[in-house]
Structure 1
Amino acid sequence: MFIVFALLALAVVVGLYRYLWCRLVRDTTAGGGWARRTGTAAFVVGPVLMFAALFAEVGHAPFALQRTLAWPGFLWMALSLYLLLAVVAGEVLRPLLRRAPARPGRGAGNRATGSREERPSQPTETTPSNTNPTRRLVVSRYVGGAAATAAVATVGYGTYGVLRGPRVKRVTVPLAKLPRAAHGYRIAVVSDIHLGPILGRGFAQRVVDTVNATQPDLIAVVGDLVDGSVRDLGPAAAPLARLSARHGAYFVTGNHEYFSGAAQWVEEVRRLGLRPLENARTELAGFDLAGVNDIAGESTGQGPDFDRALGGRDPARACVLLAHQPVQIHEAVRRHVDLQLSGHTHGGQLWPGNLVAAAANPTVAGLDRYGDTQLYVSRGAGAWGPPTRVWAPSDITVIELASKRA
């Protein structure tokens, strides 16, 4: 079944790329000149680099090879998506442009002067005919050029937004059981940094600087810190040692940690000064802070254990839970957690990915309520795959807890 599915997926991908090639290369070039050869080469080399980058990361290829392939391969992935969307949108305009009246040319002037050389029955370059080869070529170039420009601009701006670094969001969350003394307590929520072959040490330093500038009381790193081993990415993660908060920094695993050596990364973040909460809880002044492992750990017997993290606690105290995936909210509700902090979704990262994320997660981004439990989902600080975000800007969120007794 896997082979059949893989072949079907490959056929769909090949079909989509052929469609794009037809619209952007074949239909916009006359004959077999250099433009067609260059365009055809791009639509062969681009997908090859994209799949090579994916397989290199998933297959844990040498890190130098991953870095070589990641930029062109993953950017082509994002560009392909927006080329497809733009070309499909252009299909609406194509017939309208073909039927638009042509500007008068030399043929029209002959008709105006009544020249005997005029042959009305023969289509000319200025004939507003849907079958005129020259008109079709011009329309294809206009539509293809507009589609390519829109796609490149979208990916370029979305990549700039990621590399610039995340912006700070501030959200106030009232908790009924929070004591008056803890009113205004600030938690900096950082998720989905995704250090890897593209986002490295410089990006980690930008995240640290942004977090520290908010002067939080506590820092919560809620998973998907890395895409690679400690050996390859240990130097990139080193700036995390400079995270600064009055009550320290805490960490829970995300699904990508289990693709990258979760046990080694737990020890590495501990060495850097963060405190891992592996199905554990700590009592802070004013509330309990708990954390559970990601669901991906179940395959190795290291999955979430809510009984261990939340069992035996005083139900009169407010509880904040760190859990990478929003779907863990249902267990949090059953155990009367007051607030769950999550990431994982990236807010969809690349529109219309938010629609896919919404189908798989109870909340894609922002603050929601489930019974007596509130859930906040960060869009994340980095990006996976393409270093690009479209209509899903990266963020670091400062949650300010509010006491209803204040």
Structure 2
Amino acid sequence: MIHYFWPIVISFLLLVFIVIPAVVIWRLSLKVPEDAGRRRFLKKAALYPVGLAAAIGYGYGYERSHTVDHRYGISVPAGAFPEGYRLAQISDVHLGKFFSVAELRRLLERIVADGPDMLAITGDLFDDESQNLAAAQLLDEYVDRFPDGIWYCLGNHEHFRGITEIKRFLSATRVHALYNHAEQVPGKSFWVAGTDHPMIRETEKFRQLKEEYFAKTIEDIPEKERKSTIVLAHHPEFIDNAAAAGIPLTLTGHTHGGQFGIFGLPLFPVFKYTRGMVRLGDSYGYVHVGNGSWFPCRIGCPPEVAYFEFRG
């Protein structure tokens, strides 16, 4: 894993707002002969802070609160899933100062209106101890609005905000909360599996724990039925494990799509898989860009609801 995203962003902001203005002021303070070329450069340099301020204003005031829908067709072997079955995914809501339970309700209403069969949530929803209970109760309220319910896996921020209590809240609901295990969808012939998030930073130990979590997650699924399984995982590198096991679709989040993008591509691609669809052989993986944010600015990376439809 690479954890350089925020140092890069902070360094960029310092450069534009502090270093460049400081250099301009210093040069202006020098008693040197007037230079037309330098004067043109300084005028252009002064535009950078103004442009960045405008971009941040757009990202904070508009884009982060304007959700878009993305729709994908998933080709699977005949009989693996019901033809035309549709599920929706949200991720990284990050309840807190910048995303309230009321906003979560509006998001759920938006999804219900589209009529998917199932809702998958891939972690980092419960991120505010003062709102977590209300959020769990809200999810339970919406379970019946989806024919096959709501399915959930943990993210790293659930561990930060009291994992034991969050599990207790979820246990009192009808949400299918998956902690390194799988369940067959009631009345259906396919499975949903959900992994926990390995809370280790050191790369090799992270990969080892990831493998252990994944092996435990799918151990109850008969091997011949793995082609009829959806995996929910917060970290996108689980896509590799699932593809190696023959899982047709893995839904992930965690990266926020890089938070900043241009032409649909992440500006800071610090993860192996940062945003959008990944195809490995016959397996699909998806990295959701997230719905909320603990850093309240998105540029070229609006929040999304991802819809997936199975096609034979």
Whether the TM-score (by the shorter chain) exceeds 0.5 is: yes
For CA contacts below 8 A with separation 6 or more, give which structure has more relative contact order.
2
CA drift of 1:237 comes to 5.8
Q: Cα 1:339–1:135, aligned 2, differ >3 Å: closer, same or farther? A: closer
Matches of 1:273 and 1:286, distance apart in 2: 20
Read off the aligned partner of 1:393 and give its amino acid letter.
Answer: P
Q: Cα 1:330–1:142, aligned 2, differ >3 Å: closer, same or farther? A: closer
Contact 1:255 1:296 in 2 (8 A): yes
Gaps of 5+ in 2: 1-6
Which residue of 222, 232, 238 maps to 1:314? 222
Larger radius of gyration: 1
Which residue of 272, 293, 296 maps to 2:196? 293
Corresponding residue SS for 1:326: coil
Alignment pair present for 1:234 and 2:146: no
Gaps of 5+ in 1: 1-8, 33-129
Alignment pair present for 1:188 and 2:88: yes
CA drift of 1:25 comes to 5.4
Q: 1:175 maps to which residue?
A: 76
Alignment pair present for 1:393 and 2:293: no
CA drift of 1:367 comes to 1.8
Which residue of 88, 106, 123 maps to 1:223? 123
Read off the aligned partner of 2:109 and give its amino acid letter.
Answer: D
Q: Cα 1:241–1:140, aligned 2, differ >3 Å: closer, same or farther? A: farther
Contact 2:260 2:268 in 1 (8 A): no
Contact 1:178 1:402 in 2 (8 A): no
TM-score (norm 2): 0.78
Read off the aligned partner of 2:307 and give its amino acid letter.
Answer: V
Matches of 2:223 and 2:275, distance apart in 1: 28
**Cα distance per residue 1:250-299 (max 9 Å; x no partner):** 11001111111122212223434422011121213142111111122899
Matches of 1:210 and 1:269, distance apart in 2: 22
Matches of 2:217 and 2:16, distance apart in 1: 52
Contact 1:208 1:239 in 2 (8 A): no
TM-score (norm 1): 0.62
Q: 1:5 maps to which residue?
A: none
Q: 2:20 maps to which residue?
A: 23
Report 1:6-405 matches (<5 A): 17=14, 20-24=17-21, 27=24, 131-132=33-34, 140-144=42-46, 146-176=47-77, 178-179=79-80, 182-229=82-129, 231=130, 233-235=132-134, 238-243=137-142, 244-284=145-185, 285-296=188-199, 305-317=213-225, 318-351=228-261, 354=266, 356-357=268-269, 359-361=270-272, 363-384=273-294, 386-403=295-312
CA drift of 1:221 comes to 0.5
**Cα distance per residue 1:43-76 (max 9 Å; x no partner):** xxxxxxxxxxxxxxxxxxxxxxxxxxxxxxxxxx
Read off the aligned partner of 1:132 and give its amino acid letter.
Answer: E
Matches of 1:18 and 1:222, distance apart in 2: 35
Corresponding residue SS for 1:295: coil
- Judge which range, 389-398 or 236-245, deviates more: 236-245
Contact 1:177 1:316 in 2 (8 A): no
